[in-house]
Structure 1
Amino acid sequence: MEKVKLKLLYSDIKPELDMIEKELEQAVDSESPLLNDASLHLLQAGGKRIRPVFVLLAGKFGNYNIDVMKRVAVPLELIHMASLVHDDVIDDSELRRGKPTVKAEWNNSVAMYTGDFILARALEYITEIEDPKLHQILSKTMIEVCRGEIIQIEDKYKLDQNLRDYLRRIKRKTALLISSSCELGALVSGADLKTAAHLRRFGYFIGMSFQIIDDILDFTSSDEELGKPAGSDFMQGNMTLPVLCARKDQAIYELLKNNLQKDMTDEERLTIVKTIRNSSAIEEAKKISEKYLEKALEELSYLPKSSASKTMRKIAFFIGKRKF
């Protein structure tokens, strides 16, 4: 239901998004039946397509041409997809959006090569854009995404890490790719540099808010709503904002510490989920997310009033308040 509501917010660009979806299917097509099956399995698992949406909306601030816009929208979503496949291997995840992951459906080797293949397709796709500045932005983004993945591995099970560690991690894990989607969408459409800069910052701030809400939902939603076990982040050793806020309570800190790096029973997992859900940590994390949301909306206020900026504002509000 929530995903349907989100899609209604950008229904005016639905024909273009349908085109992007077909392009994505073509992009992951290969001569290998195994690669085809694994890539389509991931693609058809769904997704909010936030990155292509922001590419297209940012393009509305310049000379919008869907044939040009898709050359940026498709590779950005492919990069995101590739990172998800690799993430699932690193985190040993069995489910994503309620469906078996590529590594669960096949194995780790197939998942890693599928991710590599999708990433290579993204690079091949964007070569049709001749502007070297766009390639530089995308390359730097990809480097930072990889750095973020390594940092996440280094930070696993570190209950005593500080808030800066977490924010640095989600910046690279999520915010930068959304930020680049906004900036590249603006630049490829010929929007001026000032507009592109505001859109870049909007994307960064909304990306930070988006990930924090994602981390909150890992504790406040049910297994069914998440399509995976609630509390999965903690089980996999990823210390998210709700955990960092909740650990200030000594009793909760001891509970978390005693369950690190162990095979928890469902009962133990749900006890941790319920404890954090009922603590002040959730509201504290929401306030930090709202600060990023406010900064994102401020960036939009500097842009010309248009249907695109109005839609971006609606999506921003939705992301900040979403329940899935």
Structure 2
Amino acid sequence: MEKMKLKLLYSDLKPELELIEKELEQAVDSESLLLNDASLHLLQAGGKRIRPVFVLLAGKFGEYDIELLKRVAVPLELIHMASLVHDDVIDDSEIRRGRPTVKSEWNNSVAMYTGDFILARALERITEIESPRIHDILSKTLIEVCRGEIIQIEHKYRLDQSLRDYLRRIKRKTALLISSSCELGALVSGTDEKTAAHLRRFGYFIGMSFQIIDDILDFTASDQELGKPAGSDFIQGNITLPILYARQNPEIYQMLRDNLDLDISDEKRLEIVRTIRTSSAVDEAKRMSERYLEKALKELDYLPKGSATKTMRKIAFFIGKRKF
């Protein structure tokens, strides 16, 4: 339901997004039946397609050309998809978006090579873009995404990590790819540098808010709404913002410490989820998300008034206030 509401906000982009969806299908096509099935399994699970949407919206601030914009939107979404497959192996996730993950449907080896294949297809598509600057931004973004994945592994089960550790991790994990989507959509369309910079910063701030809300929902939404068990982040050892705030309570800290890196029962999982949900941690995390949301909206104030700015504002509000 929430995903449907979000899609209504950019329904005028439906023809372009359908074209990008077909391009994604073509991009993951392979002579290997196994690779083809595994890649399509992930693609057909759907998603919000936030990154292509922001590429298209940013393109409206310059010379809007879907043929150019899709050359940016497709590789960015492929990079995101590849990171999801690898994430599921690292986190040993069985379910994503209510469906079995690639690693669950096949195995870890198939999942890792599927992620590598999708990433290789992204790099192949990037060569269609002739601008060295766009290549440079995309390659640096990809490097940072990979660094974020490694840092997430290093930080697993570390209850003593700092707020700064967390923010730097989600910057690389989520915010930079959304930021690059906005910036590259603008640049490929020939917008001026100032506009591109405001769009880049908007993408970064909304990306930070987006990930914090995701981390909150892991404790406040139900298993059914999430399409996976609530509290999965904690079970997988990912220490998110609600946990960082909740650990300040000595009793909660001890409970988290006692159950970290254990094969806990469903009953214990739900008890931990309820404890975090009813603590002050959720409201504190929401305030952090709202600060990033406010910064994102402020960047939009510097952009020309029009339908693209209006839609970006609506999406930003939706992201910051979504329930699951």
TM-score with structure 2 setting the length? 1.00
CA deviation string 1:136-164 (max 9, x = no partner): 00000000001101111111111111100
The corresponding residue for 1:21 is 21
* 2:164 is equivalent to residue 176 of structure 1: no
* 2:213 is equivalent to residue 226 of structure 1: no
* 2:37 is equivalent to residue 37 of structure 1: yes
Write the letter of the residue equivalent to 1:191: T
Write the letter of the residue equivalent to 1:71: R
CA deviation string 1:64-91 (max 9, x = no partner): 0001100000000000000000000000
TM superposition outliers: structure 1 runs of 4+ over 2 Å: none
For residues 87 and 8 of structure 1, what CA distance do their matches in structure 2 show? 29
The corresponding residue for 2:107 is 107
User: CA offset at residue 125 of structure 1?
Assistant: 0.7
* 2:60 is equivalent to residue 60 of structure 1: yes
CA deviation string 1:182-207 (max 9, x = no partner): 00000000011111000000000000
User: CA offset at residue 32 of structure 1?
Assistant: 0.6
The corresponding residue for 1:147 is 147
1:93 counterpart SS class: coil
Write the letter of the residue equivalent to 1:186: A
CA deviation string 1:210-253 (max 9, x = no partner): 00000000000111111110000000000000000001111100
For residues 45 and 301 of structure 2, what CA distance do their matches in structure 1 show? 35
Number of equivalences: 324
User: CA offset at residue 95 of structure 1?
Assistant: 0.3
The corresponding residue for 1:12 is 12
CA deviation string 1:245-293 (max 9, x = no partner): 0011111000000001110000110000000000000000000000000
For residues 95 and 2 of structure 1, what CA distance do their matches in structure 2 show? 19
For residues 239 and 293 of structure 1, what CA distance do their matches in structure 2 show? 22
The corresponding residue for 1:74 is 74
The corresponding residue for 2:96 is 96
For residues 163 and 183 of structure 2, what CA distance do their matches in structure 1 show? 27
For residues 197 and 16 of structure 2, what CA distance do their matches in structure 1 show? 24
The corresponding residue for 2:245 is 245
For residues 30 and 9 of structure 2, what CA distance do their matches in structure 1 show? 34
Write the letter of the residue equivalent to 2:309: S
For residues 158 and 103 of structure 2, what CA distance do their matches in structure 1 show? 26
For residues 243 and 86 of structure 2, what CA distance do their matches in structure 1 show? 24
For residues 294 and 200 of structure 1, what CA distance do their matches in structure 2 show? 15
Write the letter of the residue equivalent to 2:148: G
User: CA offset at residue 323 of structure 1?
Assistant: 1.2
User: CA offset at residue 168 of structure 1?
Assistant: 0.4
The corresponding residue for 2:269 is 269
For residues 261 and 284 of structure 1, what CA distance do their matches in structure 2 show? 25
- Consecutive unaligned residues of structure 2, counting only runs of 5 or more, are none
Write the letter of the residue equivalent to 2:217: L
2:205 counterpart SS class: helix
For residues 284 and 213 of structure 1, what CA distance do their matches in structure 2 show? 12
For residues 124 and 112 of structure 1, what CA distance do their matches in structure 2 show? 18
CA RMSD of aligned residues (A): 0.4
For residues 115 and 128 of structure 2, what CA distance do their matches in structure 1 show? 21
For residues 126 and 145 of structure 1, what CA distance do their matches in structure 2 show? 16
For residues 226 and 141 of structure 1, what CA distance do their matches in structure 2 show? 28
For residues 226 and 4 of structure 1, what CA distance do their matches in structure 2 show? 15
- Consecutive unaligned residues of structure 1, counting only runs of 5 or more, are none
Write the letter of the residue equivalent to 2:288: I
Write the letter of the residue equivalent to 1:158: R
2:115 counterpart SS class: helix
For residues 258 and 30 of structure 1, what CA distance do their matches in structure 2 show? 46
User: CA offset at residue 126 of structure 1?
Assistant: 1.4
For residues 124 and 166 of structure 2, what CA distance do their matches in structure 1 show? 33
CA deviation string 1:22-57 (max 9, x = no partner): 110011001111011000000000100000000000
For residues 153 and 13 of structure 2, what CA distance do their matches in structure 1 show? 38
The corresponding residue for 1:198 is 198
Give the share of equivalent positions with the same residue, in percent: 83
User: CA offset at residue 133 of structure 1?
Assistant: 0.2
CA deviation string 1:283-320 (max 9, x = no partner): 00000000000000000100000100000000000000
1:31 counterpart SS class: coil
For residues 249 and 192 of structure 2, what CA distance do their matches in structure 1 show? 49
1:37 counterpart SS class: helix
